[in-house]
Structure 1
């Protein structure tokens, strides 16, 4: 029972860390050049 709880905990931490790194990469990395800013499109 203790080993399955440890496995689930480690899996959840790994998933959270992976998603965080992925979203930071998408926000500030190479793919961010393709994102559009809707506020800039409507400025006058």
Structure 2
């Protein structure tokens, strides 16, 4: 049973790292040129 907690901890850590790196790629990578600022059109 100790292997289950070890591997689940590794799995969760890898998922968090993967999601963080993917978010950085989407936010600052080449795809970010297509993103639009939702607040830009609502300036008063």
TM-score, normalised to structure 2, is 0.86
**CA–CA separation in structure 2 for the residues paired with 1:6 and 1:14:** 12
What CA RMSD, in Å, does the superposition of the two structures yield over aligned residues?
A: 1.2
TM-score, normalised to structure 1, is 0.86
Structure 1 outlier segments of 4+, above 6 Å: none
Q: Which runs of 5+ in 1 are unaligned?
A: none
Q: Which runs of 5+ in 2 are unaligned?
A: none
